[in-house]
Amino acid sequence: MTLRLTAEEVRRARGWGQLLGEGPAGTGAAGVAEVLSTLVGVQGQDLAAAGLCLRARTSGLVAVDVGAALSGDGAAVLMWTLRGTRHLHPVDDVRWLLGLLGPVFNRPGRRAEQLGIGGETGRTAVEALRRALESDGPLTRRQVRDLLAPVGVDPSGQAPVHVLRSAALEGILCIVPGAGAQERYELLDERVQASPPVEPAPAAAKLVRRYLAAYAPATPADFAAWSGLPAGSVRRAWADVAGELTEGDTPGGPAWVLTARVEAVVAAAGAGPLPVRLSGGFDTVLLGYADRRLVIDPGNARRVNPGGGIIRPVVVSDGSVVGTWAYRRRGRSHTVEVDPFRPFTPAERSAVVAEVADVGRFLGSDPSLAWLPPDR
């Protein structure tokens, strides 16, 4: 059976899958862990942006809830995983994701050699970090630098961060967020129960299934871009689940959905328009795909992704990226500045006003709204 979907239907199916459906401010998902589980993680290089991505998919969540989920006995963990970058994950997903992705992104490379932490020096540094965490508990970044200097790691540059990343990918530590330079690192065993070693093939197939449950219709190239897995691993994993997939005919070419979810995808595709959302930077509506042309007009792509790894906060209307926005603080003044890619309809403008108010509720502020001209 071939599933035929228009561009609008693809966007709506993906939007519902990623919890951007109808509701006062998201679908009413129960909280941080539920959203993270559905999306298989949210990029966490910028925690403020990650929090805003979660806000757009929940009702009633506030910023302090995100921090609470990532600290103490919280339900989520901040780790280096997908694409070798920082992501927020629910506790239950951490071990198997690390077992699959850790060996991929922790391979020795030229950058480690350039930083002087290749080979034995790097292994010694990771082991020193492990012992210190076991004996002294959580460490700040400054403490990590002081600890690693005597074992040959230059504390003045990026080498300590790369040692931390390597230790995290080995499943030794996780990140405990804090304001400014107060970020800390603690033993992962203190937060997440140990588990048996992960077999790569079934774990990769599991990741394909989890990905398609939220991001379909999608392609192997989309999965590769989102996960960061090498081409050979992607081909094998996709082949392992091929019998569970239904091909879709879309304006972007063939794309696949889980056969078990075809009815849900069809229902989402045929539902009414998705609401307007102000989501954070690095949102999955963009990072989930190699080909983003169904989501954003290529002529506007650079306004969202200007380079340097930046993905700006976006205005999403019926699954399409139709603008960017920014939260500005100037002294006591707080403003949400919206930059439309085209003139908004009256309904879209009203929805943006409501979203700005909800962003303020989430952050505990009362921002004003400033519109930039749509033809700038």
Instruction: Report the alpha-carbon distance of residue 256 to residue 341 in Å, rounded.
Output: 30
Instruction: Report the alpha-carbon distance of residue 163 to residue 308 in Å, rounded.
Output: 23
**Omega within 30 of 0 (cis) for the link into 217:** yes
The answer to whether residue 2 scores a pLDDT higher than 90 is no
Instruction: Report the alpha-carbon distance of residue 348 to residue 273 in Å, rounded.
Output: 12
Whole-model pTM: value is 0.94
Lowest mean pLDDT among 174-178, 334-338, 340-344: 174-178
Residues forming a β-bridge with 320: 317
Instruction: Report the alpha-carbon distance of residue 297 to residue 250 in Å, rounded.
Output: 17
Instruction: Report the alpha-carbon distance of residue 94 to residue 111 in Å, rounded.
Output: 26
> Which residue pairs from 232-241 have beta carbons closer than 8 angstroms and sit at least 24 positions apart in sequence?
233/104, 233/200, 233/204, 236/201, 236/204, 237/201, 237/204, 237/205, 237/207, 237/208, 238/208, 240/201, 240/204, 240/205, 240/208, 241/205, 241/208, 241/209
Instruction: Report the alpha-carbon distance of residue 170 to residue 255 in Å, rounded.
Output: 34
Instruction: Report the alpha-carbon distance of residue 132 to residue 151 in Å, rounded.
Output: 13
18-71 pLDDT, tens per residue? 999 974 344 556 689 999 999 999 999 999 999 999 999 999 999 999 999 998
- For 117-146, what is the mean pLDDT? 93
Give the CA diameter of the chain. Answer: 63
Quote the percentage of the chain above a pLDDT of 90.
Answer: 83
